[in-house]
Amino acid sequence: MDDQLAISVRGLRKAYGDTTAVDGVDLTVSRGEVFALLGPNGAGKTTTVEILEGYRRRDAGEVSVLGIDPDHADDQWRTRVGIVLQGTGEFDDLTVAEVVHHFAGFYPAPDDPDKVIDRVGLVDKAKSRTHALSGGQKRRLDVALGIIGRPELLFLDEPTTGFDPEARREFWELIRDLAAAGTTIVLTTHYLDEAEALADRVGVITGGRLVEVAAPARLGNRENALTTVSWRTPTGEVERAESATPTALVGELAARFGGEVPGLTVTRPSLEDIYLRMIGHR
C-alpha cells in the first residue's frame, strides 16, 4: 500500500442473501484527508464503512486501512483507529471527566484526558453527569471518546444529526481542528452543506456502486453546470433563464432595465442539487 494512503479499497463486494449491498467499490483516501461518503439510505455506505472499521467481513475485494487488512486486524491496529458511532452509549451516572478518564485506560498511549475534554469544548461540563448534557454536548463527548487514543484515522457516522445550527457550526470547527492536526477523517452525513464545508473530497454511493469521487466544487461537473438567473418584469412576473455566462446575462439585464434589475437572483447549482441528480432524484 502507498504510504500516502490511509485507505485503499479495490473490488469491494458484500451481499446479504440475494441483496447486493456493495457491488465492486474502488476507493482511496489519502492520509490527512477529510473524506465524506454520501448516499441515500440503503445505498451501501454503512456497510462499506463498517468493513473499513473492521466491524463487518466482506465477501470479496482487497481492503487496506492504515496498511492492514481489517479482517485480520489486531488490537494494536484498533488503537490507531477512532470510531464515533451515531450513539456511543449512555453513562448517566458518570461525569464527563470520569467517562473520558475511564476510556483512556483502554489504550496503551492515550492522550491526556483533561486536554481532550478541553479540546472538544467540555471543560465547563467536566464535572457534570452525562445525563445532564445537551444533545450537542453528548456528541462532543462521543468525539472525545473517539480521539482519546490519538487515532491516525477517525470515522464519524452522522456526527451532527439532531444538532441546532449553532451546535453544528461549533462541531465543524472541532473537525477542522482535528484535520489540521493531521487526523484522517472519514465522514458519513446526510447534510450536504456539512460535506461541502468539511470535506476535501466526497464520494457518492448508490445501489452499492460508487458513482463518483471528486472535490465538492467539482462533483458532477458542478463547476460547469448552468446557472439560473431570475428577475421580475415590469408587470411583476418572474422570469428565469439558465446560462453558462451568467455575468454577461446580468449585464444585459442591467442595460435593459437601465441599472438595477428588479428581483434579481443568481443561483448556481448547490452540492445538494448535483447530489440529488446523481442518485436519480427528480
Domain ranges for the chain, please list them. 5-216, 221-278
Q: Is the pLDDT reported for residue 282 higher than 60?
A: no
**Rounded CA separation 118/8 (Å):** 33
In terms of C-beta distances under 8 Å and separation of at least 24 residues, what long-range contacts does 166-173 make, across chains too?
Answer: 167/134, 167/135, 167/136, 167/139, 168/194, 170/121, 170/136, 171/136, 171/139, 171/140, 171/143, 172/197, 172/198
Q: Is the pLDDT reported for residue 2 higher than 90?
A: no
pLDDT digits 0-9 by tens, 107-138: 999 999 999 999 888 999 999 999 998 887 88
| Look-up of cell digits 475511564 | 102
Are the C-beta atoms of 189 and 84 separated by less than 8 Å? no
Are the C-beta atoms of 195 and 38 separated by less than 8 Å? yes
User: 270: which DSSP letter?
Assistant: P
Q: Is the pLDDT reported for residue 230 higher than 90?
A: yes
Mean pLDDT of 2-26: 93
Mean pLDDT of 32-36: 96
CATH architecture under which domain 5-216 falls: 3-Layer(aba) Sandwich (3.40)
3-state secondary structure of 223: helix
User: 150: which DSSP letter?
Assistant: -
Mean pLDDT of 46-55: 94
Longest dimension (CA), the chain: 73
Percent of the chain at pLDDT > 90 equals: 67
Are the C-beta atoms of 63 and 72 separated by less than 8 Å? no
Mean pLDDT of all residues in the chain? Answer: 91
Percent of the chain at pLDDT > 70 equals: 97
